[in-house]
Structure 1
Amino acid sequence: MKKVIPFILILFMFACGTSTNDSNSDDPSQGNSGTEEPIEEEDRMNDDSNSNQSEMVLDDLEFTSEVEPSDEQVNFYMTLTNHSDETAEIAFSSGQQYEITVTDPDSGEVVYKFSEGMMFTEVIEYKELEPDESLKWEQSWDYKQNGEKVEAKDYEVRLELLPMTINGEKPDDLTPLIKEQTLTVSNSDEQEQAESGSEDYFRNVQVTGENGQYKVKGEARVFEGSFHYVVEDGHHVYVEEQTVQTGGAPGWGTFDFQVNIDKEELPEHGVLTLVLYLDGPKEGEPTGHHFVTLEDFNP
C-alpha cells in the first residue's frame, strides 16, 4: 500500500490540473483573459460611435451669417440654430467663441482679424441650445487697418464658430460651421455723392468729447423740423431713440445736443456710433440714416 498511494495521488493531481486548464480554455466568460484584442476592438467601436453621434448632432445644427456694410462700419451677424428634438450642449475652450477674418483677395493679406489684439477669458464656456432655439453673435469693424481705412474694393470674409465639443464630443469636421462671403467697401466720397440731392438731410455734423460725454452739432433739412437719433455699436443700443427739433425744410436748420453715457456702460472695444434719421413716409420705417462715429474703442 505504501507504493500504491503515492501513485494514486500523482494521477489525482494530474487529473485536476488537466481539468482546470480545460475549464479556462472553454469558459466563454474568460475569453478576454488571454488577449487584449477584443477590448481594443470594443474601444475602437465606441470611438466610432461617439464620432458618428457628434456628426449627427452637427447635421441638426444650422449656422448662418450676414454681412451688412454701412458707410462707417460693417456689421457681422452669426446665428446657430438647433433643428433637432434634443438639447445640444456647445462647449468653447475660452471666451473666444468665433473668428472673423477679412482678406484682400488680390494680395492675400489679412486686413482684419477679430481675435487680433483681443483678450479672452481662459475658461471653458458652455452654451445650451434647446430644440428650435438659436444662439446669436454680432461684431462690427470700422474698415480700418493700422488706423487707416482700407482701399475701396471687394474683400473675402470668413466667419467661423470655434466649438471645442458638441454634446461632449469633438466634431471631426467643422466645415458646416464656416461661412465665406464677399464684402464691398465703398469709397466715402462716392457714397456721399450717391446719397446727396433730395435725400441729403444732414451736413456738417461734428462731434467733440470722449469717454461717454459727447457734444454734437450740425445742420439738418428735415420735414416738419424734427429728426431722431440712437447710439449703438453694432451689438447694443446705448441711447434709445431721442428726438431733436430744428428748422423745417426746405431751409437748413442748425442743431446742437449732448450725448451722455455712463463710463461703466461704454464698450470695451468696437465703434460707438451715432445714427441720425427721420420718419419715413410709411409709419415705422425710418429713412435718411446718417452715421457718425462718436468714439473708437478698438486698440
Structure 2
Amino acid sequence: MKAFLYILSALLFLVLMACGTKNDEEYSQGSMGDGDPIEQHEMDDSITQNISANQATSPDVQTLIEQLEMKVDVTTTGEKVVFTMQLKNTGDEQIELSFSSGQQFEIEILDETDDEIYVYSEGKMFTEALVYEPLAPGERLEWQEEIDIVEEGLTEGVYQGTVTLLPTEVNKQLLEDNPFTETISMTIGENHSEPLLPKADDTHPDSFRDVEVTGTNGIYTVTGEAYTSNDFFYHVEDGHMVLVEETKVEKEVEGWESFQIDLSIDEKRLPENGAVTIFFYEKNLEDGMEMNGKAYPLEQF
C-alpha cells in the first residue's frame, strides 16, 4: 500500500512539473489576446514599428526651428541701451521651449576693435532649475534688458551687439547647435542724448506726461499727453507675452497733444502673477528704430 502511494505521489509531481513548464513557455512567448503565442522577435519588430510611426508624425527639429521667428530691437538713449528680444511661434501648433537654467538669453557687446565690452551673464547668478516656456500659435515670448551706458563704460562710437537665446530643447527634442542668434550694429554718441524733437522748455524732458490708467481685468482706458516729432506707437505685454501688438497713434498737431487709448484684453491671456504694462515710444524716421520710450503699468496681478 505504501509503495502504491509513493508511486502515485511521484506521478502527480511529474504532472505538475510538466504544467509549470508549459505555462512558462507560453508566458515567455506572450499572447495576442486570442490564445496564439507571440515570438519575441515579433514583439521587438512591433515596438520598433510603433516608435518609427511616432517619429514620422512628429515634426523634426529643423521644422520646429523654422516656425520660430526671432526679432531683436535695440534702442539707444543718452543713458541706456535697451535690448528687446522676441521669439514668435508662426506655426499652427503649440511649441514648448526648455531652458537648462534661469538664464534664457545672452548679450555680448564688442567695440570697433572687437574687444569685449559687456557680457550680460558676467557676475550674475541664475537658478539651476529647468525652465519650460509654452508658446501657442501666434504668440511670442519677449525679454528686455537695459544696460547703463556710463556704468559699463560705453563711450561714443560704433558697437556690435550679439544676442543669443538659450533654449536647449524644442518640444523635448535636443538642439545641438543654437540657431537663435542675431548680431546688430549700434551707435552711441552725443546725438542719442538729445530728444528727437526739442521740447518746449527744460521742464518737459520726456515725450509722454500726465499718463493715467483706469480700469481692471483687461479693460483699460489710458489718457495722457505726447510731445513727439511724428506719430507714436504703443504695445502691451506682461513681461513674457505681447498682449496687444504694436499700434500707431497718429498726431495732428506739433507739440503737446492729448490722447486716449481704450484697451480690451481677453481675461484668459492675463497673467496669474505679474504686471501688465503699456510701452510708448517713437520711431526714428531713417531706420525705424524705437526711441524715447516710456513704460506705464496697467495692472498688477
TM-score, length-normalised on structure 2?
Answer: 0.50
Match in the other structure for 1:280: 255
How far apart in 1 are the matches of 2:57 and 2:119?
Answer: 33
Determine if contact 2:223/2:258 at 8 Å carries over to the other structure: no
Task: Assess, with a 3 A threshold, how the Cα gap between structure 1 residues 165 and 70 changes in structure 2: closer, same or farther.
Answer: same
Q: Determine helix, strand or coil for the equivalent of 1:55.
A: helix
Is 1:201 the equivalent of 2:201?
yes
Deviations 1:14-45 (A, max 9, x none): xxxxxxxxxxxxxx956589xx9x99x98x97
Cα shift at 1:105: 3.1
TM-score, length-normalised on structure 1?
Answer: 0.51
Task: Assess, with a 3 A threshold, how the Cα gap between structure 1 residues 199 and 128 changes in structure 2: closer, same or farther.
Answer: same
Q: Determine helix, strand or coil for the equivalent of 1:81.
A: strand
Cα shift at 1:85: 1.5
Is 1:81 the equivalent of 2:88?
yes
Q: Higher Cα Rg: structure 1 or 2?
A: 1
Cα shift at 1:173: 3.7
Q: Which residue identity does 1:280 align to in structure 2?
A: G
How far apart in 2 are the matches of 1:280 and 1:286?
Answer: 15
Task: Assess, with a 3 A threshold, how the Cα gap between structure 1 residues 155 and 48 changes in structure 2: closer, same or farther.
Answer: farther
Is 1:152 the equivalent of 2:156?
yes
Q: Which residue identity does 2:178 align to in structure 1?
A: L
Q: Determine helix, strand or coil for the equivalent of 2:101.
A: coil
Cα shift at 1:130: 0.8
Is 1:179 the equivalent of 2:182?
yes
Determine if contact 2:108/2:120 at 8 Å carries over to the other structure: yes
Task: Assess, with a 3 A threshold, how the Cα gap between structure 1 residues 228 and 129 changes in structure 2: closer, same or farther.
Answer: same
Determine if contact 1:76/1:140 at 8 Å carries over to the other structure: yes
Gaps of 5+ in 1: 1-27, 203-219, 231-239, 244-278, 292-299
Q: Percent identity?
A: 26
Match in the other structure for 1:228: 209
Deviations 1:223-281 (A, max 9, x none): xxxx8378xxxxxxxxx9999xxxxxxxxxxxxxxxxxxxxxxxxxxxxxxxxxxx934
How far apart in 2 are the matches of 1:159 and 1:185?
Answer: 18
Task: Assess, with a 3 A threshold, how the Cα gap between structure 1 residues 138 and 150 changes in structure 2: closer, same or farther.
Answer: same
Q: Give the superposed CA RMSD.
A: 4.3
Determine if contact 2:87/2:140 at 8 Å carries over to the other structure: yes
Q: Determine helix, strand or coil for the equivalent of 2:60.
A: helix
Cα shift at 1:286: 8.8
Is 1:62 the equivalent of 2:72?
no
Task: Assess, with a 3 A threshold, how the Cα gap between structure 1 residues 183 and 196 changes in structure 2: closer, same or farther.
Answer: closer
Determine if contact 1:51/1:171 at 8 Å carries over to the other structure: no
Q: How many residues end up aligned between the 2 structures?
A: 187
Match in the other structure for 1:169: 173
Q: Which residue identity does 1:121 align to in structure 2?
A: T
Task: Assess, with a 3 A threshold, how the Cα gap between structure 1 residues 116 and 179 changes in structure 2: closer, same or farther.
Answer: same
